[in-house]
Structure 1
Amino acid sequence: MDHKIAAAVRHHKAILLVFIALTLTLAWQASKFTIDASADTLLTKDNQLYLKTRVTDSRFAPQEFLLVAYEPKNHDVLSQQSFDDIAALSAEFASIERVESVRSILNVPLIGLADGGLSAGAADQWTIENKNFSPAQLKETFADHPIFEDLVINREQTATAIQLLFKADPQLSEIEAEITKLQEKMLQGELTDSETQRLANLQTRAEPIEKRLTATRNREIDRIREIIKPYEKSANLYIGGAHALGYQLINIVKNDLVVFGSAIAIIICLLLLALFRRLRWVALTATCCVSSVVMTLGLFGALGFKATVISANFVALQLILTLAIVVHLIVQYRETCEKHREWTQKQLLSEALRKKFKPCLYAGITTSVGFASLLLTDIQPVIAFGWMMMIAMLVSITTSLLLFPALLSFLKREEKPTPHKFAKLLLNGFYRLANQHGKLVVLISVVLLGASAAGLFRLSVENSFINYFKESTQVHRELSFIDKQFGGTTALDITYSPAKPENTDLDFTAQQLQRLQLIQAALTDYQASGDTLSVVNFTELAKQINDGKPLTEYEINAVYWTLDKDLRESLLGSYYNQDEHQFRVSTRVQDTTEGLNRSDYIEQIRADMRALEIPEGEYQMTGLFMLYQNILQKLFRSQILSLGLVYVVLTLAFWVIFRSLRLALIGIVPNILTTIAVLGTMGWLGIALDLMTMTIASIAMGIAVDDTIHYMHRYREETSHTDALYRTHHSVGYALLYTTLIIVIGFSMLLFSDFVPSIQFGLLSGLAMSVALLADLTLLPVLLKKFLPGKAEAVENESGLAY
């Protein structure tokens, strides 16, 4: 190994040229790397619930839409000024190429005011834009309207919504129809090899079309914001819809990367300068970090990886990984410089690499074990994140161990490392605490472990998109307003599939309608259930028009078929599928509901279905709400409940690395403490485990393992000395301390982000590094001194130098 290290130092020019070529080549590939915030990126394509949702959507064909809510500031929502504004907005929205139609309070059919009611031949003419209804008539009509309340006008009649319905892409619709057919077949069993290949080909064909469509949607959202701007003087306007949320989420993540990424980079550079007091260490560290991130982005682009809400922080994580290795190399190099003042630069570099190659490699392997725990889930983006971080780890190790010495080879040796009194003072304090107050350290650790374990029982598994954003942000205001005023944000569907009526003249029987009424009544009983629509709303409207008298099943069926075809499709097409004889009850869950426990909410609905004696085979629950809950539960099981297995694997890895079961068991203790402390703190602070925070256990594990490996490896080298503990603290301890200070202070900038998951990431990763540092500089030395002592640990040595 020594001759290979020496060869790497000798050929520093060739290594530098290779890295320049790789960085430039992969920088070009990095342009292919994208951030995707769509729901599909969070799901495996063979997920049963995902497949059922796709099939349900295809049968009831809900059209793509965006919502623009209009809340007048100083005039009534049913006034002429509001109508003029809505008409003008609708005309401008309709000019957008992909918009098929614009639905608003002006053009929805007010059948209750039509001559002849539901059987009116031209019911679509009975609209505000075609008839001169009085404000009193409109107020009465919209009050408790079975269909339009919370859909086009809120319950208080203070705001109205304009719905933009978009044309489907014919080519994409054709491909998706074929994909859905194959996915529906997957629900019955496995596909044949040819069908699997066909599905993969169809998805490959769909991808570039979807990419173009996403770009078009983003331009449309920008155009809509331009259109509504002049009207903001007289009204508050809010944009809602899944694609609008995804676009805003990506913009916020990108903005955080630029603004806070730059701020963190500046602070890291300043801290490196303050700690090492040489510009060379700032420049070399920055070069290695930039090169590793650029090459990793290029690899991800070439391999087709996409960043999702789960993997959005991978750049920050890779900075931690690369920075940690480089700081360890700097500290080792400076220590070697102090010991061998007569050596050449090549000799110093060779010795520093020889000392640090194994611990850096071991730290990389064991850190990868932490991230490999992400592979235990069956959620594709989480698996992808695991692979992404393992690739990032490999790139960080390679860059640090090859590029760093290659760059340093062009510089003169550092003549005299400048001691840092503050760092030395801290390490002396940690040393004395570990050396003289071992029992106190153990007691504090046990108390911390107990308090953190208690916090684990307070952890909740929740996912609220509204809570991802600070209340001061535009996206939070928009999501919150539409959620509260227009019946919720996250779709939940119950598809009811009763047996077809024996009487073929009937589409639906009285018994089936009664069952639907009971299902809908049970659903609307919950505070979290927002706007809920089904065939029941149609029967309620018919009842209102019929002077409050319910229609018989024959009358309902007769009215259904006498309706104008377009009107029938508009009112009922999304809630009744004649071919499959399926009924859809659609609700939008209100994300802002205080104290909402989403898991309990789903279980209570299932309990209601059992109470109504509706067999499980006759209904299914699908939609975005169900999909996200399904993901969360799987993440919880794979990430939290599998921690024990991961620690067993880590212990085995330590055993192999150090060839000692005793050392392996000692080494795993700080890592368990760090992970439980982070998760316990989340419990006590009320930070829920969601799509963004669920992976923090793996991150904490990866961070803690790195510190432990470096400390234990150096301690083993020093056990032949009389002051092994002191020598370890005052060598590798500096690298641990510097890395932690740089990352914790640098990442504290994320606390100023508008994106709450970024704030939580900065807080929790800083906490993980701080706890790992304290555990590895206090508890770990106590355990090592007890079970693997040096020759005479009580010796006080004050000759150490700050590196």
Structure 2
Amino acid sequence: MNRLGALYDRFILPHPWIVLILFGAILALAALRFDQFRLDASAESLVLENDRSLEEYRQVNRIFTTSDDFLVVTYSPREDLFSETGLQRLAALRDELQALEAVGSTNSILNVPLLHSPDLTLDTVDSEIKTLDDHDVAPQTARQALLDNPMYPNLLLSEDAGTTAIQVNLPTPERYFELLNRRNELRDKASSGNASAEDQQQLEQVSRQFIDYTEQLGAERDATIGQVRSILDNYREHASIHLGGVPMIVADMIRFIESDLSTFGLGVLAFLLLTLAIIFRQWRWVLVPLLCCGFTVWLMIGFLGWAQWPVTVISSNFISLLLIMTLSLTIHLIVRYREFQHDEPGAAPRDVLRRTIMAMVKPCFYMAVTTIVAFGSLTFSGIRPVIDFGWMMTLGLTVAFLITFLVFPALLSLLPPPLDNRVTSNKVPFTDAFARFTEHFGGTVLVGSAIIAVLCVIGLNRLTVENSFIDYFKSSTEIHQGMITIDGRLGGTTPLDVVITDEPAPENPGDDPFASDCDPFLDDCGDEEYRDTWYTYQKMRDLGAVHDYLHSLPETGKVLSISTTLDLLAQVNGGEPLDALQLAFVPAAVPEDLQDILLTPYISEEHDQARFSIRILETLPELRRQELLDRIRNHLSTELGYDKDRILLSGMTVMYNNMLQSLFDSQIKTIGVVFGAILAMFLLLFRSVKLALIGMAPNLIAAGSVLGLMGWLGIPLDMMTITVAAITVGIAVDDTIHYIHRFKTEFAKDGAYLATMHRCHRSIGQAMFFTSLTIISGFSILVLSNFIPTIYFGLFTGFAMFMALLGALTLLPRLIVLLKPFPAP
């Protein structure tokens, strides 16, 4: 401490201008990369660390030439869709959308083949297929042909034919995949330790190119989605129209994040400043905290830009958190400064400032370290965006502490605050009421805490992680409305792929199968006899059983597979199922321009794989993703006889479920690490097992209260609320450290526990109350967000601060008075 005091006496307090000028240079350097600060809501930003699901998802899309890079426009006309006027308006809308530069193609009821001609057979399918675009087909005839087709209902057309969809395809350029694959190859090489210096340089270069290209594509996608919305607005007079699709959801999520970063970051700051003005009523006590908070956020944004470290959905609230954590540090300094002013009204401002810094640097350092430990524990979660969030906050808190103890004293040296008359008054502060309550109703405090603890345990047992993605957005948002329409009328929202790999052909196939008595084209000869194609009677029958099972599940909407194509061909075949010989010639019978619709999305002969495309009903209240995926795997393996290693489940449903299901493990792991680390910190700081355990009690109650309340209210854990418990502990432990540290200092004066408790409530208790009040007020503005997890984050953080304050002002002093952990002075 003597060396630290000498540092302040020689450099910081006598030369505040030099400190601020040097710091200004650092701020200028950080500002050079503000333009590199970016947001990321891509699939990569929401997967588990080292999760193979993303690569499997991309591989399935490559093999079966499918993609989720398309927008879905739902169109429900106010008049009959299948009328001349209705189809003309739909065609006009489709044509405008297709004319956009970024649109590769569109799919709608206007260009899909109609199977209604009486002359249509397997032999004439190439010449007799008609479409609404190219042929004169009566609207009602087209309506019936589309409804009779097994592929289109609940996909492009609702079952009542009142709603249709236009699929607007936005192809991703090959350049993206080239850079992605090259980057991944170099990353794998570097992680295995086989990368040369040249490879490392190439990795940096390719990573930079990939980021730049991704940002360029994102900007182009945003512009395209804006153009699409402008076109749709021109047609809303005659129809109810909603926009959906993965690109639109990603774009809107980024828009919500940007809104939360800017609007709510500024809103939280405004609320905090208003609260400071009301509490302290001096412009210096508003300006100085404002500058400290602003500088912290400034440096972190600049650093993230320099490091090319994107902000994700989860870490989007880091600005608000840094504001309140920096503000917490400055409020404690302000309150302590005012206390010294009260004790020595005639002391020189510089002496008061020095005493304040020396008195608060130790508890604030302990507070910063324990909070860093709490946020650092998020790096053990296994969820990539949560890990990134943990590292961002760890670095941000370090910056906040350094700025507080460098900039705060430099500013106050130049702007010494005058003595506030309210500081010198002998009015007992409001917080002493908690001390009186604790003194006279100590038993009530203990019993009440025990009841809360029991309720927390019950609530924890009711926690779940099964929530619908649609519940992340308010019902007034276009995402929510579009997903409701797609889910309810057009076959489901979230994609799930089930891929089955064929058994490998025997190494010694033996005799020619045609030499046996069984004809593989006409009869069921079994897989052992004939393995070189999927188009056999046995295999198609087995795939049909899989299709029927998937379609029977209540959680699934539209299911497409090769069975859908066979049903369609059977319809063309006069309603008769294809026999074994006809099955063998299906690839040749389907016209080449229809193979990308009817065959290649479902069968890959090259990779010996068959794919089932499923849409999951996100609005189903009984949806349990993990249970559904386990049920599918078990049924295919036990009931239908497929080896488990031949079954692959892929798609957005799987990646999202993987993250959700890891939440329980990571939550337990995270909280365990937090409390273990904080207990170790308390033992190191207080040198007393008894005092360390006393300090843990209010933190356990605060964290348990948040998770327990979520369980009681039926609010599931998600990618945002998982962090609340760790944040709660990190903030609650600040109050604990400050209170115990002050109690130890005050207790040394007279050795009286009750008198010490009252003095602490009147001094450090005020700082704790002011800090909690400003944080709760600031975070209340998050309820205005369109992103439901952000709303929960604000509400639960505010509730956590209330419970942490309540525990620190009641349970903590009651345990200290009861157990008497301090030795007599």
Match of 2:701 in 1: 673
CA gap 1:424/1:144 in 2 versus in 1, 3 angstroms: farther
Match of 1:767 in 2: 799
Match of 2:516 in 1: none
The alpha-carbon deviation at position 417 of structure 1 amounts to 4.8
The alpha-carbon deviation at position 310 of structure 1 amounts to 1.4
Match of 2:787 in 1: 755
Q: Distance in 2 between matches of 1:691 and 1:423?
A: 46
The alpha-carbon deviation at position 190 of structure 1 amounts to 6.6
Q: Deviations over 1:351-384 (max 9, x none)?
A: 0000110111100110011111111133322211
Q: Single out whichever of 781-790 and 358-367 deviates more from structure 2.
A: 781-790
CA gap 1:703/1:505 in 2 versus in 1, 3 angstroms: closer
1:584 maps onto 2:588 in alignment: no
**8 A Cα contact 1:69 1:238, kept in partner:** yes
Match of 2:409 in 1: 405
Secondary structure at the aligned position of 1:426 is classed as coil
**8 A Cα contact 1:118 1:542, kept in partner:** yes
Secondary structure at the aligned position of 1:532 is classed as strand
CA gap 1:350/1:419 in 2 versus in 1, 3 angstroms: closer
Letter in 1 for 2:694: I
- Structure 1 unaligned blocks of 5 or more: 794-803
The alpha-carbon deviation at position 62 of structure 1 amounts to 1.0
Letter in 2 for 1:549: E
CA gap 1:392/1:124 in 2 versus in 1, 3 angstroms: farther
Secondary structure at the aligned position of 1:776 is classed as helix
1:784 maps onto 2:812 in alignment: no
CA gap 1:419/1:768 in 2 versus in 1, 3 angstroms: same
**8 A Cα contact 1:337 1:414, kept in partner:** no
Letter in 2 for 1:713: H
Secondary structure at the aligned position of 2:722 is classed as coil
Letter in 2 for 1:665: L
Match of 1:601 in 2: 628
The alpha-carbon deviation at position 261 of structure 1 amounts to 3.1
Match of 1:538 in 2: 565
1:106 maps onto 2:138 in alignment: no
Match of 2:671 in 1: 643
The alpha-carbon deviation at position 535 of structure 1 amounts to 0.7
Q: Distance in 1 between matches of 2:553 and 2:170?
A: 32
1:2 maps onto 2:5 in alignment: yes
Secondary structure at the aligned position of 1:111 is classed as coil
The one of 534, 550, 555 equivalent to 1:528 is 555
Letter in 1 for 2:699: N
Q: Distance in 1 between matches of 2:422 and 2:84?
A: 77
Secondary structure at the aligned position of 1:294 is classed as helix
Counterparts of 1:441-452 in structure 2 under 5 Å? Answer: 441-452=445-456
CA gap 1:121/1:533 in 2 versus in 1, 3 angstroms: closer
Q: Distance in 2 between matches of 1:360 and 1:47?
A: 39
Q: Deviations over 1:479-534 (max 9, x none)?
A: 22122222222111111012256547744222222222222222222222122111
CA gap 1:650/1:181 in 2 versus in 1, 3 angstroms: closer
Match of 1:626 in 2: 654
**8 A Cα contact 1:71 1:77, kept in partner:** no
| Alignment coverage as a number of residue pairs | 790
Q: Distance in 2 between matches of 1:791 and 1:491?
A: 65
Match of 2:742 in 1: 714
1:368 maps onto 2:368 in alignment: no
Counterparts of 1:216-615 in structure 2 under 5 Å? Answer: 216-418=220-422, 424-499=428-503, 503=530, 506-609=533-636, 610-615=638-643
Letter in 2 for 1:554: L
Match of 2:517 in 1: none
The alpha-carbon deviation at position 280 of structure 1 amounts to 1.4
**8 A Cα contact 2:314 2:720, kept in partner:** yes
CA gap 1:278/1:456 in 2 versus in 1, 3 angstroms: same
The alpha-carbon deviation at position 565 of structure 1 amounts to 1.7
Q: Distance in 2 between matches of 1:768 and 1:123?
A: 69
**8 A Cα contact 1:109 1:123, kept in partner:** no
Secondary structure at the aligned position of 2:109 is classed as coil
**8 A Cα contact 1:328 1:735, kept in partner:** yes
Q: Deviations over 1:546-576 (max 9, x none)?
A: 2322112321231321222221122222211
1:96 maps onto 2:109 in alignment: no
Q: Distance in 1 between matches of 2:425 and 2:417?
A: 22
Q: Distance in 1 between matches of 2:124 and 2:14?
A: 91
Q: Distance in 2 between matches of 1:632 and 1:518?
A: 30
Q: Single out whichever of 200-209 and 11-20 deviates more from structure 2.
A: 200-209
The one of 122, 131, 135 equivalent to 2:135 is 131
Match of 2:18 in 1: 14
1:691 maps onto 2:719 in alignment: yes
Letter in 2 for 1:674: A
Q: Deviations over 1:18-69 (max 9, x none)?
A: 2222223213323211111111112257322222222222211214543343
Letter in 2 for 1:733: G
Q: Distance in 2 between matches of 1:659 and 1:12?
A: 37
Letter in 1 for 2:46: L
1:157 maps onto 2:161 in alignment: yes
- Structure 2 unaligned blocks of 5 or more: 506-526
Q: Kindly report the root-mean-square deviation, in angstroms, between the aligned alpha carbons of the 2 structures.
A: 2.5
The alpha-carbon deviation at position 10 of structure 1 amounts to 2.0
Q: Deviations over 1:621-648 (max 9, x none)?
A: 1111101111122232122344223312
Q: Distance in 1 between matches of 2:579 and 2:793?
A: 59
Match of 2:515 in 1: none
**8 A Cα contact 1:27 1:298, kept in partner:** yes
Secondary structure at the aligned position of 1:163 is classed as strand
Q: Deviations over 1:70-128 (max 9, x none)?
A: 43342112222221122212222222222221211111011343733444354595101
Q: Single out whichever of 592-601 and 765-774 deviates more from structure 2.
A: 592-601
Q: Distance in 2 between matches of 1:471 and 1:421?
A: 52
Q: Distance in 2 between matches of 1:755 and 1:387?
A: 23
Letter in 2 for 1:623: G
Q: Distance in 2 between matches of 1:517 and 1:527?
A: 18
Match of 2:514 in 1: none
1:738 maps onto 2:770 in alignment: yes
CA gap 1:120/1:312 in 2 versus in 1, 3 angstroms: farther
Q: Distance in 1 between matches of 2:297 and 2:715?
A: 29
CA gap 1:557/1:367 in 2 versus in 1, 3 angstroms: same
Letter in 1 for 2:212: P
CA gap 1:750/1:727 in 2 versus in 1, 3 angstroms: same
Q: Deviations over 1:200-240 (max 9, x none)?
A: 76555433222211111110000111111111100111111
Q: Distance in 2 between matches of 1:353 and 1:415?
A: 18
CA gap 1:25/1:83 in 2 versus in 1, 3 angstroms: same
Secondary structure at the aligned position of 1:113 is classed as coil
Match of 1:796 in 2: none
Letter in 2 for 1:2: G
The alpha-carbon deviation at position 347 of structure 1 amounts to 0.7
CA gap 1:290/1:339 in 2 versus in 1, 3 angstroms: same
**8 A Cα contact 2:157 2:165, kept in partner:** yes
Secondary structure at the aligned position of 1:695 is classed as helix
1:616 maps onto 2:648 in alignment: no
Q: Distance in 2 between matches of 1:603 and 1:505?
A: 30
Q: Deviations over 1:638-670 (max 9, x none)?
A: 223442233122101111112222211111111
The alpha-carbon deviation at position 263 of structure 1 amounts to 3.1
The alpha-carbon deviation at position 278 of structure 1 amounts to 1.1
Q: Deviations over 1:726-750 (max 9, x none)?
A: 1111111111100111111222122
Letter in 2 for 1:443: V
The alpha-carbon deviation at position 388 of structure 1 amounts to 0.2
Letter in 1 for 2:796: L
Q: Distance in 1 between matches of 2:709 and 2:247?
A: 34
Q: Distance in 1 between matches of 2:605 and 2:194?
A: 30
Q: Distance in 2 between matches of 1:140 and 1:638?
A: 52
Q: Deviations over 1:145-191 (max 9, x none)?
A: 321112211122111111122343132233445568899x99xx979
The one of 711, 726, 730 equivalent to 1:702 is 730
Q: Distance in 2 between matches of 1:300 and 1:571?
A: 47
